[in-house]
């Protein structure tokens, strides 16, 4: 293992040397502060399978992938996925083997509440998550629970999904149940994973379930999600915090936008504007109580064009509940883009409206290495810049990296040197942010543990540090080279 790691080190070193020619600085040999947490993120729909077993209800991803013709390129789905519903003990063994001390998973709302509503609780669903949580704790691994990662119960979609304000109460009831059932053993809760991606791809581009294409739905959903988040945060404050002593936050997707020409003020301005818009719909209200000026102006423009009915502000009453409703910020980060002003609009990237409405041109540097997705390039320093940007604009919050990972193809094999380079590079830039820049990052979760169902890409792309053979009914798991390297970084708490 360590020989593999050294080979990979050399390759990484070569890349860093070539980067330093371009002005990026050298690899930092140092460790993270004591208590830094290491682990992995997964989500229910991507790994659990058992889509109709033991009383689980149907969710919007079940509906989406079962459409005919299939919206997924390989026509496959998450019906079985990694079969983690039956094989969670294998997953925990892998986490233990790699040396993770935290594991973030999401609850399948429909497994716990088959109708989405509190009128019918499925005991098998509660039991499944109790078993997982207890096994993690028995192995010294802290469970982190994501309440919602995209798999809304279908009956709630049938009343309009997140754009319907009624769903806010249903989400709060679900969260209340989860706090009651699991909160005695959970110290960190994530209300929503990447609601920005969920709104854009679920309700605007239609690439994700429920597959809608309506900007008004996307914007009203985003607004209701901020309110749902705040309501659940306040519920935790009022009823659970005293006894359970946990933390509650949200995980946002954010890439880094680099001015294409850093010397050009217009490029710098549009890059900053893009970042403000990306963080403006969720983080800004949650930290400061309302949308930032950039988002207000954008909403105003869209209202004028009659593209949305979404209000440009939260009411005073809403604002009071929303403001400050976070104990940490979760950051899901993969990649960096170059941006410049342009009269032409370019396509929408993950999770934001910048290309669509701002007239900005997005590109990548052809010298940046690319994985199996053309929208993910390997730019480790973009993570350091993103972290510094959050620290400066958002009052130095505690930050957890809740997803970071590299996509390759299913036939890439277990000697995934590119993924090793990716994680080493990004973790090292995170180390610089912590040690040299004083950014308060205290956790790193790689995404993902297993090769799993990658949403609109099916199984055509892999992020796992563990290979899963999806042609084998047993779904056997084989650690890749990247597992060994993360094992070493976790054990050393950095790079010694």
Ligand X SMILES: *[C@@H]1O[C@H](CO)[C@@H](O)[C@H](O)[C@H]1NC(C)=O
Give catalytic residues, as residue numbers.
Answer: 194, 403
- Between CA 196 and CA 189 the distance in angstroms is 18
Strand ranges of the sheet holding 360-363, from the earlier edge strand across to the other edge: 256-259, 336-341, 360-363
Q: Which of residues 417-446 bind ligand X (CB under 6 A)?
A: none
Stretch that binds ligand X, among 83-91, 255-263, 359-367, 466-474 (CB under 6 A): 466-474
Give the shortest CB-47-to-ligand X separation in angstroms: 18
Stretch that binds ligand X, among 35-43, 209-217, 279-287, 468-476 (CB under 6 A): 468-476
Give the shortest CB-475-to-ligand X separation in angstroms: 9
Cβ atoms < 10 Å from Cβ of 263 = 7
CA distances from 107 to 150, 159, 175, 252, 323 (A): 10, 21, 10, 18, 26
The smaller minimum CB distance to ligand X, of residues 363 and 478, is found at 478
319, 291 in Cβ contact below 8 A?
no
Give the shortest CB-94-to-ligand X separation in angstroms: 17
Q: DSSP letter at 455? A: G
Stretch that binds ligand X, among 119-127, 381-389, 450-458, 465-473 (CB under 6 A): 465-473
- Between CA 265 and CA 69 the distance in angstroms is 48
Stretch that binds ligand X, among 178-186, 223-231, 385-393, 464-472 (CB under 6 A): 464-472
Give the shortest CB-471-to-ligand X separation in angstroms: 4
The smaller minimum CB distance to ligand X, of residues 374 and 471, is found at 471
Q: DSSP letter at 139? A: T
Which one among 23, 245, 304, 472 touches ligand X, defined by CB under 6 A? 472
- Between CA 201 and CA 348 the distance in angstroms is 10
Stretch that binds ligand X, among 11-19, 82-90, 371-379, 467-475 (CB under 6 A): 467-475
The reply to whether 127 sits near ligand X by the rule CB under 6 A is no
The smaller minimum CB distance to ligand X, of residues 263 and 471, is found at 471
Cβ atoms < 10 Å from Cβ of 361 = 18
Residues contacting ligand X: total by CB under 6 A: 3
Residue 146 dihedral angles phi and psi, to the nearest 5°? -95, 125
The smaller minimum CB distance to ligand X, of residues 49 and 280, is found at 49
The smaller minimum CB distance to ligand X, of residues 199 and 450, is found at 450
Give the shortest CB-368-to-ligand X separation in angstroms: 30
Q: Which of residues 174-193 bind ligand X (CB under 6 A)?
A: none
Give the shortest CB-462-to-ligand X separation in angstroms: 12
The smaller minimum CB distance to ligand X, of residues 438 and 476, is found at 476
Give the shortest CB-45-to-ligand X separation in angstroms: 23
Least Cα distance to 303 among 287, 291, 318, 317 occurs for: 291
Measured in residues, the chain has a length of: 496
The smaller minimum CB distance to ligand X, of residues 305 and 414, is found at 414
The reply to whether 471 sits near ligand X by the rule CB under 6 A is yes
Which one among 469, 491, 492, 496 touches ligand X, defined by CB under 6 A? 469
The reply to whether 131 sits near ligand X by the rule CB under 6 A is no
Residues forming the site for ligand X (CB under 6 A): 469, 471-472
């Amino acid at each position: 293992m360590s020989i593999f790691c050294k080979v990979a080190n050399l390759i990484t070193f070569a890349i860093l040397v070539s980067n330093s020619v371009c002005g990026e600085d050298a690899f930092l040999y140092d460790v993270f502060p004591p208590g830094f947490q290491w682990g992995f993120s997964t989500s229910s729909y991507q790994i659990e399978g058992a889509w109709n077993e033991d009383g689980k209800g149907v969710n919007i991803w079940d509906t989406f992938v079962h459409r005919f013709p299939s919206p997924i390129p390989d026509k496959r789905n998450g019906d079985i996925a990694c079969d983690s519903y039956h094989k969670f003990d294998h997953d925990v063994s892998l986490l233990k083997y790699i040396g993770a001390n935290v594991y973030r998973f999401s609850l399948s709302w429909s497994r716990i509440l088959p109708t989405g509503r509190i009128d019918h609780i499925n005991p098998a669903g509660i039991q499944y998550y109790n078993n997982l949580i207890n096994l993690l704790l028995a192995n010294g691994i802290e469970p982190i629970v994501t309440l919602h990662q995209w798999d809304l119960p279908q009956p709630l979609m049938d009343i309009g999904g997140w754009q319907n304000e009624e769903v806010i109460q249903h989400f709060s009831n679900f969260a209340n149940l989860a706090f009651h059932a699991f909160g005695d053993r959970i110290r960190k809760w994530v209300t929503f994973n990447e609601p920005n991606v969920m709104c854009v791809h679920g309700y605007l581009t239609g690439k994700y379930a429920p597959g809608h294409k309506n900007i008004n739905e996307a914007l009203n959903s985003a607004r209701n999600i901020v309110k749902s988040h705040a309501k659940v945060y306040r519920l935790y404050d009022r009823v659970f915090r005293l006894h359970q002593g946990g933390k509650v936050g949200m995980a946002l997707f954010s890439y880094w936008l680099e001015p294409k020409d850093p010397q050009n003020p217009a490029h710098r301005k549009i890059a900053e504007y893009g970042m403000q818009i990306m963080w403006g719909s969720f983080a800004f209200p949650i930290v400061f109580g309302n949308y930032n000026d950039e988002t207000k102006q954008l909403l105003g423009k869209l209202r004028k064009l009659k593209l949305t009915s979404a209000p440009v502000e939260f009411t005073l009453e809403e604002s009071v509940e929303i403001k400050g409703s976070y104990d940490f910020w979760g950051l899901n980060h993969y990649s960096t883009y170059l941006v410049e002003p342009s009269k032409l609009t370019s396509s929408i990237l993950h999770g934001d409206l910048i290309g669509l409405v701002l007239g900005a041109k997005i590109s990548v540097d052809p010298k940046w290495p690319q994985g199996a997705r053309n929208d993910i390039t390997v730019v480790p320093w973009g993570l350091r810049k993103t972290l510094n940007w959050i620290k400066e604009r958002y009052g130095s919050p505690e930050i957890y990296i809740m997803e970071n990972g590299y996509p390759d193809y299913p036939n890439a094999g277990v000697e995934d040197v590119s993924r090793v380079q990716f994680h080493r590079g990004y973790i090292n830039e995170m180390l610089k942010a912590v040690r040299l820049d004083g950014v308060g990052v205290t956790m790193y979760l790689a995404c993902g543990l297993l090769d799993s169902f990658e949403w609109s890409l099916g199984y055509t792309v892999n992020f796992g540090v563990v290979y899963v053979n999806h042609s084998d009914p047993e779904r056997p798991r084989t650690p890749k080279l990247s597992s060994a390297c993360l094992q070493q970084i976790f054990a050393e708490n950095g790079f010694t």
